[in-house]
Structure 1
Amino acid sequence: MNLLVFIVLGIAVGMLIPLIPVYTAVLNRFTGGLSNSAPIIFGIGLVLTIGLKVLLTREFIWPAQVVKAPWYSFMGGSILAIYLLLTPLLLPRLGVGLTISLIVFGQLLMAVLIDHVGLFGNDSFPLNWPRAGGLLLIAIGVWLLKK
């Protein structure tokens, strides 16, 4: 596939992320709160991902394969739960733009750390002045959104 297709897909996926806390906040009003909304949201995600996996690949994941994975490879669900629980608390206080810009800045900080150290079996991409400058520019953008 053309690189442009992947760039557009990346932007499209990024545009979906701010919708998660917005939709969750709306659902919270109808369910009595996040403790009721979160299981519904995760249940829908579980059914959808399993359904798509089976439909698209006609394959199943076997427990014997899964138990060989390192413990930290299972943390994605926990991290998503934290994201889902905290972002609806931030939205009414910070607004969608500042909330998501802070989240993106946090993601970039972690990504640069993972790259720099080569965490979790990833190749190392040491922090250099251009990368540090990029982080600084993002931080300035977040600060400007706060104004």
Structure 2
Amino acid sequence: MSLNAVAPYVLTLVAGAMVAAQPAFNGQLSGHLGSPIRAALVSFTAGALIMLATVSVVAFRSGWPSPERIMNTPPHLFVIGGALGALFVTTAAWATPKIGTGSFFALLFAAQLIAAMAIDHFGLFGIEERSVTLMRLLGAGLLTLGAWLVVNH
């Protein structure tokens, strides 16, 4: 298997491990600032500054998108990802200190997998259709059972 074929899997595993720590840090920040919304604002501001620096370096090498390309982008695409990210970060900062990191991620993974399978099955949001199979349903059921065990035991 080539590096190009393996890289998405490896980077996804690394990102998943890093994301596991994010709610713990944001939960601590929420306690210090007295609000999960303030913690989310600080988190997004830091992320935006880091991304601004990263994009600036990349744009220096490869250029910025043309004004026409920007104008042809549906307006909701400029907002929805950030809005969903804000919901996630704020919820994580609020819920994790209350239910623990394990319970938070168990519930999150189960909900994500069920929603992702529906998105795939119905081809929502421009995603290519990928039918739900009995084995995929079994996998989702086992993950949901695992989430229940983590939360309740």
TM-score (norm 2): 0.85
Aligned to 2:104: 99
Distance 2:56 2:72 in 1: 22
- The alignment status of 1:118 with 2:123, answered yes or no, reads yes
Q: Structure 1 residues 35 and 125, CA, compared in 2 at 3 Å: closer, same or farther?
A: closer
Alpha-carbon shift at residue 71 of structure 1 (Å): 4.1
Flag the structure with more relative contact order, 1 or 2, with Cα contacts below 8 A and sequence separation at least 6.
2
> Structure 2 matches for 1:1-147, cutoff 5 A?
1-58=3-60, 59-61=63-65, 64-73=68-77, 74-146=79-151, 147=153
- Residue-pair matches, total: 147
Unaligned runs of 5+ in 1: none
Q: Structure 1 residues 96 and 78, CA, compared in 2 at 3 Å: closer, same or farther?
A: same
CA RMSD of aligned residues (A): 1.9
User: How high is the sequence identity, in percent, across the aligned residues?
Assistant: 24
Q: Structure 1 residues 67 and 19, CA, compared in 2 at 3 Å: closer, same or farther?
A: farther
Q: Which amino acid aligns with 1:49?
A: M
Q: Which amino acid aligns with 1:6?
A: P
Unaligned runs of 5+ in 2: none
Distance 2:142 2:94 in 1: 27
